[in-house]
Amino acid sequence: MFFPSMREMLTYLEAEGDVKRIKQEVDGEADVGAIMWELYNRRGSQAPVVIFENVKGRAMPLVKNVYGSLERWALAAGMEAWRGQHRYKEIREHIMPLTHDQSRWIDPVIVKDAPCKEVILKGEGADLGLLPVFRWHPSDGGPYITLPGCVLRDPEWGHNFGMYRMMIHDRGTTGFVANAAQDGGIFAARAKQRGQKTMDLAVAIGFDPALYLAAVMKMPEVGRDCEFRFVGALTGRPVELVHCETIEMEVPASSEIVLEGQVHLEASRLEGPFGEFTGYAGEQMNQPIFKLRCITMRRHPSYVSTTSAHYASECLALHYPQPTAWYNKMKREIVGFRDAFFPMAGRMLLVVIQIKKRYPGWGKQALLTALGSGFGMSILNQAIVVDEDVDIYSLEEVMWAVTTRCDPELDVLILPPVAVNALNPAARARLPKGPELGYTDFNLCSKMGIDATKKFASEAGRSRATPETSRPGEKDLQRIRGIWSQFGLD
């Protein structure tokens, strides 16, 4: 089952009792962030979708937390029987074959008309003040559009569809922050190299749920319509795009709202801070600006956004699909690789890797591979490697392995500082901004690898192996699982 639009998914979720409507008037700035924070504290990743129907000073309903649970992610990815049944691993295994196999990808199609054209606002009428967009955290430098699907087009490389949040400077201007390593950053650098002073940008808000997965995933390609083609394969039908009114660009026809305009590559304005997925306020930096030309939308659009700094927030769940391509790479490169997981508590800066270790040293090889290249190099502060008997989706079990299988002097690797993501809160220093770095400064941070695998007696300065664990035999466990219902213990 796939939902052709976010609207249809909300209708389904509401029938399932997974949507809460808040009818009383709320203040966008003072109330919404605090309500969502308290909801995440109380319900964690079981928090429902929330629709604020009556936001002071705005006509549009404000929808929060649509993608704030793995169950709803599974639903967006077309998986059945979603409620409470999927872990990250199942979703990843469902999606991953399609990121590998581009022969199954389906090109998008252009349609003539779409509901997002019911209202067209140009000139004075194109006003960002219509949107229920606020400072979601008191530390935010301005109101933030937090779930924008940014469509860019490169003459050679076609469309790229990526999510880069936007701070509103005024009624017709926002910031544009696609960091240099992102496809959006690469598109901008290429436009600059061609001598362009501006770059067309269309911002889709509230679109087909499967497209949300693609907008936050690192694809195996840059641009070339890969996000749209991938979603075509996932849903089994081409993504429908519709032409923009004022720029040479195409946007998902399923959108509730579309902003059209241009990124001014040479203009820049202070942007930030923003309450980031790390749980910290990001830094204020000079960033290019986006100038709005036109808003197109449905007659009664719903505005969808996220607040992000809480560990259980939608923003973090949205980051889950990001390392898919990295996972594929690790699968090939780490000896004995079985699985890997980025626990929410680690805010994307920590990975737990599971291996089948056959020889001494394999744990440390895994750590060096994970921390030493690409996405792992630029995003991770820490990696932990464990054996197959440890459930990497349970931090309880992972920490048990760390405390009982790791002799810190022998099993902790400290790697020297390297350039990491500008948002890394642990980083010690910021590199000076150079022309090659594009829009984002990088930070410097060292890395730690923790080898929490069981050790051989012959391994790394030891003369004693990790003892055997105490638990029932696997045969007995299997047999008992088979007749479990007889005992009435559930």
- 243: exposed, middle or buried (Cβ count in 10 Å: 0-12, 13-18, 19+): middle
- Cβ-Cβ contacts under 8 Å for 145 (sequence gap 6 or more): 131, 133, 165, 166, 167, 168, 174, 203, 205, 305
Binding of residue 162 to ligand FMN (CB under 6 A): yes
Which is nearest to 380 in space by CA: 368, 395, 390? 368
- Residues from 169 through 188 that contact ligand FMN (CB under 6 A): 177-179, 182-184
Q: Choosing among Mn ion, ligand FMN, none, which partner's interface includes residue 217 (Cβ < 5 to 8 Å by kind)?
A: ligand FMN
Nearer to Mn ion, 160 or 174 (CB): 160
From CA 58, how far away is CA 303, in angstroms rounded? 11
Binding of residue 229 to ligand FMN (CB under 6 A): no
Instruction: Using CB under 5 A, pick the residue from 18, 71, 154, 183 that binds Mn ion.
Output: 183
Rg, Å, the chain Cα set? 24
Q: Choosing among Mn ion, ligand FMN, none, which partner's interface includes residue 224 (Cβ < 5 to 8 Å by kind)?
A: none
Binding of residue 160 to Mn ion (CB under 5 A): yes
Nearer to ligand FMN, 5 or 182 (CB): 182
From CA 61, how far away is CA 21, in angstroms rounded? 10
Minimum CB separation of residue 159 from ligand FMN in Å reads 10
From CA 421, how far away is CA 424, in angstroms rounded? 6
Nearer to ligand FMN, 115 or 323 (CB): 323
- Cβ-Cβ contacts under 8 Å for 123 (sequence gap 6 or more): none
CB nearest ligand FMN: which residue? 162
Handedness of CA 189, 109, 261, 5 (dihedral sign): negative
Cα angle, residue 424 at apex, residues 310 and 371 outer, rounded to 5°: 110
Task: For residue 387, give the H/E element and its range.
Answer: none
Site string for Mn ion, 197-226 (x = CB under 5 A): ----------------------x-------
Q: Choosing among Mn ion, ligand FMN, none, which partner's interface includes residue 255 (Cβ < 5 to 8 Å by kind)?
A: none
Instruction: Using CB under 6 A, pick the residue from 74, 168, 217, 304 that binds ligand FMN.
Output: 217
Binding of residue 313 to ligand FMN (CB under 6 A): no
Cα angle, residue 283 at apex, residues 198 and 57 outer, rounded to 5°: 75
Counting residues that bind ligand FMN (by CB under 6 A) gives 22
Q: Choosing among Mn ion, ligand FMN, none, which partner's interface includes residue 370 (Cβ < 5 to 8 Å by kind)?
A: none
Binding site for ligand FMN (CB under 6 A): 146-147, 160, 162-165, 177-179, 182-184, 216-218, 306, 308, 315, 318-319, 322
Binding site for Mn ion (CB under 5 A): 160, 183, 219
